[in-house]
Amino acid sequence: MNVLTLAPVEGPTAWVIVAIGLGLGLALCFAAAAAERRAWIAARAPRLPIRLLAVHDDAWLRGRATTASPLTCPWFGVECIAFAYRKERKTTRTVRDKDGRTRTEESWSVVASESETAPFTLVEADQRIVVQAPEGEIEAWESLGTEYEGASLRHEARILRVDAEVSVLGVKRDDGTFGPLREVPLLVTHAEHHEYTRGRERAGVWLRRGGLLLVLLGSGTGSGFLAGEPGREFALPVALGVGLGALVLAWTWATFNRLVRARNAVRAAWRQIDVDAAVRAQLVPNLVEVVKAYGAHERGLLERIAGLRSGSVAAESDAARTVRAVIALQERYPELAASGLHRDLHDRLVALEEKLATSRELYNRMTKAWNDLVQQMPSGIVARLAGHRPAEFFAADTVAPPRVDLSQA
């Protein structure tokens, strides 16, 4: 057996290496799945103006964070919406190495910390909404740096500054505030919504790769020590064989689960399109009543609206053009703006069109990711064994729903 001389490692220690490698590797794979789930929730939410939000809408908002009652960050005295402050003390200790030599090490230890977050008002143009920031996650931090108090004490802090430009993911709740609800978190970040989504997707990819690498290293290193003569030799061929075998098993498990998540994402994205289109169709009877007064001049539009209501519209592109024509009526007939019913329907239609555009884009993104997994190698091997098949993209001239039955079984 080919061996490699390394520092002595006893049997129990080798098993610990195996357990740590497998445990950390699987933990990173689960973290990758969580990151992908967070990316899905973020991608599903449309970017909406505050005025178009309806109760229970999940959305991304963008605006200026302000408050009439700001917090004050300890030590730094800066007014803010949220802060995370800590005070550290320098400690010195003497350590002895294995050869009996001593050396001095310095480190900083936390002696006090404090954090607080206040609700704030998000302002967009002349619209505003209260964001329940204490119930969410703050990622829009700004560092205040480090200030030293003598040679042995220092202070550090991060803040969410008043009047900062932020993006907020959340849900408009029954009380009119913006916050977390069910699986949708409240998130405050400086990034635009599409930047945040791409970042979560990239994090999922790197976490999964890191997890598989730890499985390879942990199982391979531990088995190499176990197969070699105790305390003296490292069996390299055994380490490579066991490590690669464990990697293949972990990769197959992770890929199968990834396929399941991707398939469910495609189906959920299509269901969201279906729900949004159904809500849009439910508005049509009310729109007909509002537009009837202008029927003499808008007969063709009324006929198209009737087709939308009955489901006889030839394609989604025709339905979208019809709705845009209804939305544009307010420009041709300014007196419609005085109708509270029309304003409400107008705003709801605009919001629905934004949601539908986001849902269609999300469906096609999820379909591309699914098709890549199913058709590319080596993930295509697992997909074929599981009986999966590609999905159809959503096109503007779609008449029938794309096929979403993605398994042959």
Rounded Cα distance, 92 and 101, in Å: 17
Instruction: State residue 409's pLDDT score.
Output: 39
Instruction: State residue 212's pLDDT score.
Output: 87
In a domain, 252, yes or no: no
Q: Final residue of a domain: which of 150, 183, 216?
A: 183
Give the CATH number for residue 365.
1.20.1440.20
Q: Are residues 53 and 23 in the same domain?
A: no
Q: Are residues 146 and 107 in the same domain?
A: yes
In a domain, 255, yes or no: no
- Domain hosting residue 178, numbered range: 49-183
In a domain, 229, yes or no: yes
Instruction: State residue 337's pLDDT score.
Output: 57
Q: Are residues 229 and 347 in the same domain?
A: no
Q: Are residues 53 and 173 in the same domain?
A: yes
Q: Are residues 99 and 177 in the same domain?
A: yes
Beta bridge partners of 143: 158
Q: Are residues 102 and 227 in the same domain?
A: no
Q: Are residues 31 and 71 in the same domain?
A: no
In a domain, 25, yes or no: yes
In a domain, 397, yes or no: no
Q: Are residues 11 and 125 in the same domain?
A: no
Instruction: State residue 328's pLDDT score.
Output: 64
In a domain, 56, yes or no: yes
Instruction: State residue 248's pLDDT score.
Output: 85
Instruction: State residue 258's pLDDT score.
Output: 85
Instruction: State residue 189's pLDDT score.
Output: 94
Q: Are residues 11 and 53 in the same domain?
A: no
In a domain, 286, yes or no: yes
Q: Are residues 215 and 321 in the same domain?
A: no
DSSP track, 106-175: EEEEEEEEEEEE--EEEEETTEEEEE-GGGSEE---EEEEEEEETTTEEEEEEEEETTEEEEEEEEE-TT
Rounded Cα distance, 399 and 228, in Å: 66
Instruction: State residue 303's pLDDT score.
Output: 57
In a domain, 189, yes or no: no
Q: Are residues 222 and 293 in the same domain?
A: no
Q: Are residues 87 and 20 in the same domain?
A: no
Number of structural domains the chain divides into = 3
DSSP track, 327-365: HHHHHH-GGGGG-HHHHHHHHHHHHHHHHHHHHHHHHHH
pTM of the model: 0.74
Show pLDDT as tens, one digit a residue, over the chain (409 residues): 444 444 555 556 767 777 888 888 889 888 988 888 888 889 888 888 888 888 888 899 999 999 999 999 999 999 999 999 999 999 888 777 767 778 888 888 999 999 999 999 999 988 999 999 999 999 999 999 999 988 889 999 999 999 999 999 999 999 999 999 988 999 999 998 889 988 888 988 899 888 888 888 877 777 766 666 555 566 667 777 877 888 888 888 888 888 888 888 888 888 888 877 777 777 766 666 666 665 555 555 555 655 555 444 445 666 666 666 666 666 666 655 555 566 677 777 777 777 888 888 888 888 888 888 888 888 888 888 888 888 888 765 554 445 555 665 3
